[in-house]
Chain A
Amino acid sequence: MSDIKVKTAPVLGVDGRSAGHLLEVDNLHVEFRTRDGIAKVINGVSYHVDAGETLAVLGESGSGKSVTAQTIMGILDTPPGFVTDGAIRFRGKDLLTMGKDERRLVRGEGIAMVFQDALSALNPVFTVGFQIAELFRKRRGMSRADGYKRAAELLDLVKIPAASARLRDYPHQFSGGMRQRVMIAMALALDPEVLIADEPTTALDVTVQAQIMDLLAEIRRDRNMGMILITHDLGVVADVADRIAVMYAGRIVEQADVHALYGKPCHPYTLALLDSLPRLDLKGQELNTIKGLPPNLLRIPSGCAFHPRCTMARDICLTQRPALVELGGVRSSACHFAEELYGRE
């Protein structure tokens, strides 16, 4: 595994010392206070992303991957969602404790987000030109004409044909793939340092998915952005990501370099996920699935949350929650048998 580049671009703080990573989520806890009780949605998530790097966050629905992203953006619905502990540092400053206005200015300019369903995420009653130009007008103080000119350039950048003519179109007049490109153009408008893409291709058909992922990867490379790619699609991740964090029941259960993770998963959940991928050589056979259902977040299982569905589960898994332990420096896994899995051939 010597060919793996670990990309780190330290960000300098005011005093010239390294202030850590570009964006760093540190021991984040979020709970949803619902009528039925408190759902612990995020239970101590830590990850980071640096400039020019893509971190993929992988997990089933309800694993907390999107809620983490919403908390970073500050668009968590409160109530029911509340941050109970942790910090989110962007360029060394904690977003959770900074003032409202200061945090607002980070949105779009520091960290921007591409949403899953562009049809509902774009405002149906305004033209896409208006919605993109709005950023330049309100955040950069540009005139209407200049804003629209820049919007056209952005649509061109995301390879929408006849860009300037399409400024006057409404979101519903675009195809699914083109709409997602509009969404990406809008996120790029203020030249953000970190782009969060929350399942950007889930609503699209397969051929378009690949185009959108290529576009994102290209833009990430050109602009040296940090990217957090949230997905449940293992196929999407492999080509694009540098590192992967696998989430389960509001925790990161395994974090590793993409090649390492695919080559030798060190958590039974990751193992099971990879096992359930359709494979050509097993054509005609029944697809492997992970038995059982994702845990109810109102009643997370004791010990290791994955134990009811785990094929390796022993007595210790019912009572003790495994800590995220480092394996060989660059990767970590939260399993009682992590060393065992790591040591296997």
Chain B
Amino acid sequence: MGRYALRRLLQAIPVFIGTTFLIWFLVWGLPGDPFAGRCGEKACPPAYVNYMTEKFGLNDPLPLQYLNYLKNLATGNFGQTFNGLEIGDLLAQAFPISMKLAVVAVLAEALIGITAGVLTGLRRGSFLDNLVLVSTLVLIAVPIFVIGIVARYAFGLASVSPEAPWTELIIPGLILGSGSLAYITRLTRVNIVENRRADYVRTAVAKGLAPGRVTGVHLLRNSMIPVVTWLGLDLGALMGGAIVTEGIFNIRGIGGLLFGAIARRESGIVVSIVAILVLVYLIVNLLVDLLYGVLDPRIRYE
């Protein structure tokens, strides 16, 4: 398993370089004047343009610019915004908030989704099953901004305070996780239905184990393999921030930062966020692949 992890980490290097180059090139390398419209109604004075061009090294050949960027990134220097703010500071403020939101969302998905999935899987065709089925359909079908705005009025929650304490993130987290929650419910249910007639469940019953143990240990453990994997990937995806949810509740996370940066053409922020997201996703993917082997001992890494 150690060799497998090492190989995957080595594979991640070209992936990281490739994706960051693509996004860097799309943001910096394409034709267009990065300083157009930065000085209000008038064109920017040549002195300003010259100063900025020099500061950001925009006269260097493209490959050199990219290598310089990578070099700075490797030392933890994300560079500055056009108006001189340290991008690293902005990220350090926004990332913990998005991470908290993602954790709340994934916890809600896991707790509610798995519980609902197990209950409906054990009582297939019951009233509860049908109720949950319809609810999950609604959650999957209705766009998140509709659910979010309705919830905002329903709970009278206009905006989350800048420090984003956990308690204030519960409702936004639930909204953010609602689509995945519905999916987790269905996934759990399907697996429970499929496994509850499995031979090893029958064996567990024949051993005279209590019904709670048969379901809670023997049935659940096998049914959780795809669910846990999905939760892991979802956590990775949600760490990238949630533009819509963060927007609705005024949460100052990565999603909002990225959205604002795109609108203001703050190329440095956009590239840095994407670079970090690529990294997060690569790591989460690797962890999920390794988790597979822990959950299902039949899987061999080679």
Q: Which residues of A contact B (CB under 8 A)?
A: 73-75, 77, 104-109, 112-113, 115, 117, 120-126, 134-135, 138-139, 170, 172, 186, 190
Contact = CB atoms under 8 A, between A and B. Distances in A.
A104 B208 CA distance: 5
A124 B296 contact: yes
B199 A120 contact: yes
Interface string B192-211: 00000111101111111110
Contacts of A106: 208
B216 to A, nearest CB: 12
A123 B222 contact: yes
A134 B208 CA distance: 11
Contacts of B199: 115, 117, 120-121
B204 A123 contact: yes
27 contacts: A74-B205, A75-B205, A75-B206, A106-B208, A107-B206, A107-B207, A107-B208, A108-B206, A109-B208, A113-B206, A115-B202, A115-B203, A115-B206, A120-B198, A121-B200, A123-B200, A123-B203, A123-B221, A123-B222, A125-B295, A125-B297, A126-B221, A135-B208, A139-B207, A139-B208, A172-B297, A190-B208
Contact of B298 (A74, A107, A108, A172): A172
A127 to B, nearest CB: 8
A75 B200 CA distance: 12
Contacts of A108: 206-208
Contacts of B152: none
Nearest to B196: A77
B214 to A, nearest CB: 10
Given A77-B197, A138-B213, A112 B206 contact: yes
B63 to A, nearest CB: 50
Contacts of B295: 125
B264 to A, nearest CB: 51
A184 to B, nearest CB: 13
A105 B210 CA distance: 9
Given A77-B197, A138-B213, A170-B297, A121 B208 contact: no
A77 B198 CA distance: 11
B298 A124 contact: yes
A73 to B, nearest CB: 5
B8 interface: no
8 closest residue pairs by CB, A with B: A107-B208, A108-B208, A120-B199, A123-B200, A121-B199, A170-B297, A121-B203, A108-B207
A281 B113 CA distance: 66
B265 interface: no
Task: Output the residue of B197, B209, B210 with the most chain A CB within 10 A.
Answer: B209
Contacts of A134: 207, 209
B298 to A, nearest CB: 5
Contacts of B210: 104, 138
Nearest to A101: B210
Given A123-B203, A124-B296, A124-B298, 10 more contacts: A74-B205, A75-B206, A106-B208, A109-B208, A115-B199, A115-B203, A122-B200, A138-B210, A172-B297, A186-B207
A123 B202 CA distance: 10
Interface in B185-236: 197-200, 202-210, 213, 218, 221-222, 225
A22 B200 CA distance: 28
A190 B197 CA distance: 24
Nearest to A172: B298
Contact of A125 (B197, B204, B207, B222): B222
Contacts of A77: 197
A61 B107 CA distance: 48
A108 B204 CA distance: 10
Task: Output the residue of B207, B295, B297 with the most chain A CB within 10 A.
Answer: B207
Contacts of B198: 120
A172 B205 CA distance: 21
A170 B205 CA distance: 20
Nearest to A73: B206
Interface in B97-114: none
A186 to B, nearest CB: 7
A266 to B, nearest CB: 35
Nearest to B201: A123
Nearest to A190: B208
Task: Output the residue of B197, B200, B204, B298 with the most chain A CB within 10 A.
Answer: B200
B298 A170 contact: yes
Nearest to B213: A138
A124 to B, nearest CB: 6
B296 A125 contact: yes
A77 to B, nearest CB: 6
A115 B198 CA distance: 13
